[in-house]
Amino acid sequence: MRTSMLKSIVRRSSVPGVSSVSRRGFASGSAPERKVAVLGAAGGIGQPLSLLMKLNPLVSRLALYDIAGTPGVAADVSHINTRSEVAGFAGEEQLGQALEGADVVIIPAGVPRKPGMTRDDLFNINAGIVKSLCTAIAKYCPHALVNMISNPVNSTVPIAAEVFKKAGTYDEKRLFGVTTLDVVRAKTFYAGKARANVADVNVPVVGGHAGITILPLFSQATPTANLSDEEIEALTKRTQDGGTEVVEAKAGKGSATLSMAYAGAIFADACLKGLNGVPDVVECSFVQSNVTELPFFASKVRLGKNGVEEVLGLGQLTDYEKKGLEALKPELLSSIEKGIKFANAN
């Protein structure tokens, strides 16, 4: 596919709003300098995500870090004739260089699920990886916006918060669990059932990022459609099980990578737009929150020059959604507490 074609796909549809940024005055090349670092850049998500970030005209420097394999990925991506300068960093001794000066750090580092596993089964390996990466972020780019993709997100975000608190760098406005893939799936599945143009569809997804903690609010979906209770229940379940659907289809070869790269690119783009002062940038994300009694919760978030500008409330819920909300709280709280406990014990 020609670069111009790829860029135009990203501009038109893949990263909604990139075109509107251009329309709002950031012609390619005149947007502020922004460095994005991808940690885990040689992985299944990391590689296509690095490609999509290379296509984003808001990025001026792209640092690709992994424990191995990044020189090749960086050399490959660097030949694409878009704005950003690409550099690859491999091994812990180069992590500081990769992070220095970063405005946004995206973390898809860690092991993915195999069939039969829950996201929590990844905790034992990924908690340590996230903790060490966040320790380095606190040291080398304490003001960066952190986009946490590594699972279990319901625990890795609280781990990151504790690491930053210990380092004295925690700013709740700058830490995000990436739940965009849940929104992407909810939009796709809803558009199919509602026979709506998927490009016009919006669906908030709240709660967390695992099983029943993923709560799509189809009652607030637009454009509206007259779906039955059974259809809403089926859509809800499919969204909650979307990750498992992919894990099973990949049959031992990992979990969602391409759709996650797409979702991660949308969320990072929103963070960059917020930093650049573009108004009304709203995405769902798992953040420190007062929306419920839980310390972290995913809901719509308005992004701005300092990261989170406003955590938006849940709006009107149906009885079915209220039940889902109450049902998810114990599991989500226990995952949050598990992360906090790990960070403080290790």
Ligand X SMILES: O=C([O-])CC(=O)C(=O)O
Residue pair 285/178 in contact (Cβ under 8 Å)? The answer is: yes
The yes or no reply on residue 40 touching ligand NAI (CB under 6 A) is yes
144 to each of 105, 167, 343, how far by Cα in Å?
Answer: 6, 14, 20
Residue pair 90/66 in contact (Cβ under 8 Å)? The answer is: yes
Q: How far is the CB of 224 from ligand X (least distance, A)?
A: 26
Q: How far is the CB of 200 from ligand NAI (least distance, A)?
A: 23
Catalytic residue among 174, 209, 238, 300: 209
What letter represents residue 224's amino acid?
Answer: T
Element (H, E) at 95: helix 95-99
Q: How far apart are CA 168 and CA 146, in angstroms?
A: 16
The yes or no reply on residue 122 touching ligand NAI (CB under 6 A) is yes
The interface partner of residue 298, options being ligand NAI, ligand X, none and the CB cut-off 5 to 8 Å by kind, is none
**What residues from 94 to 113 belong to the interface with ligand NAI (CB under 6 A)?**
108-113
The yes or no reply on residue 321 touching ligand NAI (CB under 6 A) is no
**What residues from 214 to 233 belong to the interface with ligand NAI (CB under 6 A)?**
none
Q: How far apart are CA 333 and CA 213, in angstroms?
A: 10
Q: How far apart are CA 82 and CA 92, in angstroms?
A: 28
What letter represents residue 249's amino acid?
Answer: A
Pick between residue 84 and residue 285 the one whose CB is nearest to ligand X. 285
Pick between residue 99 and residue 308 the one whose CB is nearest to ligand NAI. 99
The yes or no reply on residue 151 touching ligand NAI (CB under 6 A) is yes
Pick between residue 17 and residue 46 the one whose CB is nearest to ligand NAI. 46
Please name which of 2, 54, 58, 4 lies closest in space to residue 27, comparing C-alpha atoms: 58
Burial bucket for residue 132 (CB in 10 Å: 0-12, 13-18, 19+) = middle
The interface partner of residue 40, options being ligand X, ligand NAI, none and the CB cut-off 5 to 8 Å by kind, is ligand NAI
Q: How far apart are CA 133 and CA 307, in angstroms?
A: 20
Q: How far is the CB of 152 from ligand X (least distance, A)?
A: 8
The interface partner of residue 83, options being ligand X, ligand NAI, none and the CB cut-off 5 to 8 Å by kind, is none
Residue pair 260/181 in contact (Cβ under 8 Å)? The answer is: yes
Residue 113 assigned ligand-binding role: yes
Pick between residue 113 and residue 338 the one whose CB is nearest to ligand NAI. 113
Q: Is 209 among the catalytic positions?
A: yes
The interface partner of residue 129, options being ligand X, ligand NAI, none and the CB cut-off 5 to 8 Å by kind, is ligand NAI
The interface partner of residue 160, options being ligand X, ligand NAI, none and the CB cut-off 5 to 8 Å by kind, is none
Residue pair 83/29 in contact (Cβ under 8 Å)? The answer is: yes
Q: How far is the CB of 295 from ligand NAI (least distance, A)?
A: 19
Q: How far apart are CA 253 and CA 243, in angstroms?
A: 13
DSSP letter string over 313-341? ------HHHHHHHHHHHHHHHHHHHHHHH
Residue 120 assigned ligand-binding role: no
Residue 210 assigned ligand-binding role: no
Residue pair 56/30 in contact (Cβ under 8 Å)? The answer is: no
Residue 174 assigned ligand-binding role: no
Cα torsion through 242, 244, 247, 249, rounded to 10: -70
User: Would you give the binding string for ligand NAI spanning residues 231-260, x where CB under 6 A is met?
Assistant: -----------------------xxxx--x
Q: How far apart are CA 154 and CA 158, in angstroms?
A: 7
Q: Where on the chain is the footprint of ligand X (CB under 6 A)?
A: 112-113, 119, 151, 181, 242-244, 246-247, 255-256
The yes or no reply on residue 149 touching ligand NAI (CB under 6 A) is yes
Residue ranges for the known binding site are 40-46, 66, 113, 119, 126, 149-151, 185, 260
What residues make contact with ligand NAI under the rule CB under 6 A?
39-40, 42-46, 66-67, 108-113, 122, 126, 129, 133, 149-151, 153, 178, 181, 209, 254-257, 260
Which sequence positions are flagged as catalytic?
A: 209
